[in-house]
Structure 1
Amino acid sequence: MSVNQVVLLLLLPLCFAKSDVTFKNVTFRGYSVFTEKFKKVIPASNSLKDFLPESTFDMIEFRDQNIPVLYEDSLSNLDELDELIIESCSVYEIRPGALKNVPLLRRLSLKANKIEEIKGDIFNNLPLSTLDLSKNRITTISPTAFDYMSSLLNINLADNQISVWNPSWFKNTPLLTRISMQNNSITVIPEQAFHNLEGEKKFGKIDLSINLIFSYNKIEKIHPQAFSGLKKINNLWLDHNSIEEFDGDLLKGVAVKELRLNYNQIKCPTGDLSEMFRAELTSIDVNPLDCDCLETIKDWKKKTGKHVELFYADMECTTQRIKKKMTALEERIKEIRSMDKETVTNVDLLPAKPIK
């Protein structure tokens, strides 16, 4: 075998090897206190760090670029970065280790990409307080994907294709107080769904309470112990789902500020109304509520002074009552007209009296 052939054989694996280059002809901008400070182009590199100028900045933004894969170390060693935005960039995969040594990174937005799976070892132990993964194509999330995020306050998973809620998520996230899951495909809220959110939450001296946003899903069933362990919920939004039953004991012992159950399939709440409507504000409007059940709720509401929104449900039942009365009136008019016709017919059949 000639020397040239040997060299060719040695080079072949390199020719066919996949190049881990995250940034190819990509433009990004740097900001300081919301003011643009620079605009740079990365011709080809797997390191953002190598293209950062010496100037002061706190935010980096990639928008409307083509960055299919965030490879390991691509977003590492960003010592001073506070906010990183990678939006509408066709990202479909994030490799473990893509984000390393970002000690001040407070907010990360990967909104409006094509991500389908969230693996473990991507976000764990990062100092993020806000993580935005909304408007992707996420169907699969590792049970450990969001563990050990000690500063996480807010996570946005809205507008994805998530069909299963895993109670194992969010282990050791002591500050997490807002989960946005609207516009997904969740069908069941399982037992102890939020047990990793239990416990007192404080940010410094500020008391925090949980916000669970599950509007516009496909929820049909809520396990009787779904909210077990929680003591306080600020907003519990379950509107625009397919819930048929909401037992009063579901929220027993939980202080709730706002409960949204409107636009579901609830016909009549079961159990103790004082437990079901324990929130400061409850919206149960636009459900196929049984009208007798509605009257019971209205009477209870009047006695207790609780704020329960029933405007459209009440209007619907009023309309039904009016329709029933109108139908009954129409039937009665038909009967009277029929009786009048029979009377006239009987009179016509009477023999004529002789003329004297």
Structure 2
Amino acid sequence: MYFLQTLLIFVTFYKHVLACGSYSFDYEIRGQIGFIKKISDVEEISECGNDNQSVFVDQHYILELCCKIFACKNILDAVTFNNCFIRKFEENCFSNSVLNVRSVIRVTRNHITTIKKHTFRDLVVMQIDLSNNFIEKLEDEAFLNLNNLLILHLGGNLLTVINPKAFALIPRLESLSLYENRIRTLQPGFFSFLSARNSDVNLACNEISQLKKSAFDGLSSRVILDLTLNGNKIEILPEDIFTNRSWQSVDLSYNPLKTISRHFCDKQCVMQIFEFDCVFLTWEDVEFIVDWAEAKEVDLYGGGCLQYNVTVMLPTKLCGGATNFEDFFSWKFYASFYLLLLNYI
């Protein structure tokens, strides 16, 4: 009987917390000049000091981020909730409560799984960081009417597919980070929501195995795209995949490229930088890329290209998404390291 009573109290308390019941936490106010003021054991962020300061909440069991937490009326530069075990956002939590945050909203290293419709709507922030959660799904219009948003971080989550309809009316978005997810395919119209002239999309360290031209359907011809795809599983560059577009750079390093169409970047294709790997390509393919880059004045960087006349790139990051490529070299690396040690023993 005592056990059942204890369990009932625990369940009631747990549901109360998840339903935005009362709970306490600490937060810090961080000023522009570096001072920190800590406010302890409160149920809401009400004392915020002066305008243009930041609020930081770290390592608390908040579970559900609720509207009532944001009681501060000052104009804030940034609000951060890091490692607070947050699982969900109360409906309209941000759009009703943090319209006075001008620069950054960070909800990082929590347990969020879904970004629901209108979660981030009508805000004036320039950056939203949701990296290192457990996000599996973005609902339609999850990010809506964000006229000032420049940077959106969704890296380090569990996304397998991206819903382009999640991003609506974000005219100034310049940088979208989707690195280290589990994205397997770029569906038709994947990039269609981009409209900023210089746009950067980072898809490094995912599980993409195939590129299709339809992924760029709806992408404005005025957009100059910086596309990072390193550490995926791409083996083929099909015909006209980058044609009729402008590219600041395309990074395909740490992909097991085996086949490259002679028309992968033909007619009206403008590109500044192209990064790739020579390891699985034939001599004819590499020679073609070198000639193509010279004719189009493209800066070329290649991995595993020591025997070719290509600038050798240095790896900037190794990741889980690149294991399919790295495993091919692992035995050589360990053998060389072992022999090197023998010489010094």
TM-score range, shorter chain: 0.7 to 0.9
- Which has more radius of gyration? 1
1:244 aligns with 2:235: yes
C-alpha offsets along residues 283-318 of structure 1, whole Å, 9 cap, x if unaligned?
01255112222222233344554322235235389x
1:81 aligns with 2:73: no
1:189 aligns with 2:182: no
Identical counterparts, % of pairs: 20
1:299 aligned to which of 288, 291, 295: 291
Shift of residue 186 of structure 1? 0.5
Q: Provide the C-alpha distance between the structure 2 equivalents of 1:224 and 1:57, rounded to a whole number of angstroms.
A: 44
C-alpha offsets along residues 212-271 of structure 1, whole Å, 9 cap, x if unaligned?
100000001222221232333342101110112222422222211111011112212114
Match of 2:139 in 1: 142
1:108 aligned to which of 105, 108, 111: 105
Match of 2:169 in 1: 172
List gaps (5 residues or longer) in structure 2.
1-8, 310-345
Shift of residue 77 of structure 1? 5.3
Would you say the 8 A contact 2:276–2:303 is kept in 1?
no
Shift of residue 87 of structure 1? 0.8
Q: Provide the C-alpha distance between the structure 2 equivalents of 1:274 and 1:226, rounded to a whole number of angstroms.
A: 15
Would you say the 8 A contact 2:121–2:146 is kept in 1?
yes
Change (3 A) 1:158 1:22: farther
1:223 aligns with 2:212: yes
Give the count of matched residue pairs: 293
Q: Provide the C-alpha distance between the structure 1 equivalents of 2:49 and 2:77, rounded to a whole number of angstroms.
A: 16
C-alpha offsets along residues 104-161 of structure 1, whole Å, 9 cap, x if unaligned?
3121011111111111232111112100000111112112211211211100000000
Please give the secondary structure, in 2, of the residue aligned with 1:168.
Answer: helix
Match of 2:16 in 1: 18
Match of 2:91 in 1: 96
Change (3 A) 1:73 1:135: same
Change (3 A) 1:30 1:286: farther
Change (3 A) 1:174 1:302: closer
Would you say the 8 A contact 2:128–2:151 is kept in 1?
yes
Shift of residue 93 of structure 1? 1.3
Q: Provide the C-alpha distance between the structure 2 equivalents of 1:303 and 1:80, rounded to a whole number of angstroms.
A: 53
Would you say the 8 A contact 1:78–1:102 is kept in 2?
no
1:269 aligns with 2:260: yes
Quote the RMSD (CA, aligned, Å): 2.7
Question: Normalising by structure 2, what TM-score?
Answer: 0.76
C-alpha offsets along residues 171-219 of structure 1, whole Å, 9 cap, x if unaligned?
1001111100000000111111121223xx3xxxxxx510010000000
* Amino acid in the other structure paired with 1:197: L
* Amino acid in the other structure paired with 1:132: D
Stretches of 4+ moved more than 6 A in 1?
none
Match of 2:122 in 1: 125
Question: Normalising by structure 1, what TM-score?
Answer: 0.74
Would you say the 8 A contact 2:293–2:299 is kept in 1?
yes
Please give the secondary structure, in 1, of the residue aligned with 2:170.
Answer: coil
What does 1:10-49 correspond to in 2, within 5 Å?
18=16, 20-21=19-20, 24-43=23-42, 45=43, 47-49=44-46
Match of 1:161 in 2: 158
Change (3 A) 1:90 1:316: farther
1:259 aligns with 2:255: no
Q: Provide the C-alpha distance between the structure 2 equivalents of 1:316 and 1:141, rounded to a whole number of angstroms.
A: 44
* Amino acid in the other structure paired with 2:121: N
